[in-house]
Amino acid sequence: MPLVVKDAENTAMKVTTFLESLCEQLVEQVEVGSILYFANCKIVPIKERRFQPNGALDREIMLEEGSHWRVHTGSYQYKLPEVKIEFTSLNDVRFLAPGSTINVLGILVGVGQIASFSAETRVDPGGGYEAAPDDAEVGATGERRRRELQVVDSSGFVTRVSIWNERADSFKGEEHDVIMLRNAVVAPHGGVTLNVYKKTVIKITPTDLVVKDDVAALVEWYDNIPEGHVYNHASGGYSAVSGQLPGVRPRTFCKTVREVRNSAFGSGNKVETFNVIGKIRQVTSKNLLYRACKSPDCNKSAVGPNTCKIDAHQKLKGRKRYCYTLRVSIGNGSKSGLLPITIFSPLADAILNMEAEELWKFRKNDGDIDTVLSPLIDSCWWFTVQARTHRWFSRNTGTSHDEIQYNATGAVRLEDPEDVEENDSEENDEEDEDNQTRQPAADEEDGDESEDSDEDDSDSSLH
């Protein structure tokens, strides 16, 4: 028979016994709100996590022969010891080992949209696969849903927090709210992030007396931050869901286009995240739009070889939905060469300042797409990019090829950039044109687009 008790810190723990006589006594004598005393019991790891209540420890109290317990009656004459919750500074989180369990008190500075994607592994686990922390929560449909939060504390460091599935759906916190996380787990993704597990307790604007002073001090610090203050991020990159926040300095420094092209980022099984700064030199409108899954949280294709595999999404009814595959090439100057970057929705929607479905209607009404894309030319951007190796098959030669793909997960437009033209001018003046990263022609690669694509064949590269 299981029951759940909480201590003065509001931390839950299961109490379990398999003794029939003891079960009968507990049923007869214990009710909600009873104060219980236990002695000579065992503390053992939880075996059946599916029955674990949210916020409970991963240990349980086991009552056996020889264990003693009683229900306290009458007034409680003993003063509970003062409880102090120890919070870890987000500045220190960067140096903790993966898997560390910590408590955090901070301010929400970003609340991302929900991302929905298949639970299947898409890349080698050793190369950066970010598994859901609670595999038991993945539904029969194979769908996972994640919402990313951005949290800052008085150290001035921002950290991503990933919450999953039902908790992602029901999250009510907003920017500028105080958030308390107890038993959050450190994860090594793009620097350091925090994962929310079943045992993690989340409180928005906590009112617990034991944290009253901590909350007041945090709010006072936040309210007195000067305008234009720049935070530091504990992560090197950002997902397209939570975006790259303005006024937050990434963990990693920016690379130049030349440095990226001469590097081994993304080779083999590696999935690597880096920042690069450059001006957009080319934009292509070919296959800019594609028919997407009808779930608003999913940007997988609705047709073709890379169609969405989530059963619940395939059953959705309604009008067609569209997303972007925005392809740009950036450079720092005449010596740097070009770096091709692919940008998907919803990040591409933000960069173009126009939703994909809106552009679809614009084109259907004989609108000129180039008028939407041309303002990007020569604009300077700070991109956060994921690099990985992609194998594609050439219909022309019948052979397969490996290439490194660069997909943007965050972007900030630099209105007053430093002079990036000179970034690559001091060295490597002679550069072989063959070193430029090759993009396969559209008729060679089997990508998200299919023969059922709604996109026309016109290819207008803007220079």
Please state the separation of Cα 451 from the chain's center in Å. Answer: 32
Hey, what are 309's tokens? Answer: 């595999």
pLDDT score recorded for residue 279: 92
User: Could you read off the pLDDT of 384-402 as tens digits, one per residue?
Assistant: 888 888 877 777 887 877 8
Cβ atoms of 173 and 112 closer than 8 Å = no
pLDDT score recorded for residue 247: 79
Closest CA relative to residue 12, chosen from 186, 252, 201: 201
pLDDT score recorded for residue 260: 87
Q: Mark the ranges of the chain whose per-residue pLDDT is less than 50.
A: 80, 121-132, 135-137, 140, 237, 419, 425-461, 463
Q: How many Å apart are CA 322 and CA 292, to the nearest integer?
A: 5
Closest CA relative to residue 386, chosen from 257, 280, 268, 237: 237
Q: How many Å apart are CA 63 and CA 42, to the nearest integer?
A: 7
Domains of the chain: residue spans and CATH: 2-72 (no CATH), 90-233 (2.40.50.140), 253-462 (2.40.50.140)
In the Cβ-directed half-sphere of 359, how many Cα atoms lie within 13 Å?
28
Please state the separation of Cα 358 from the chain's center in Å. Answer: 26
pLDDT score recorded for residue 51: 59
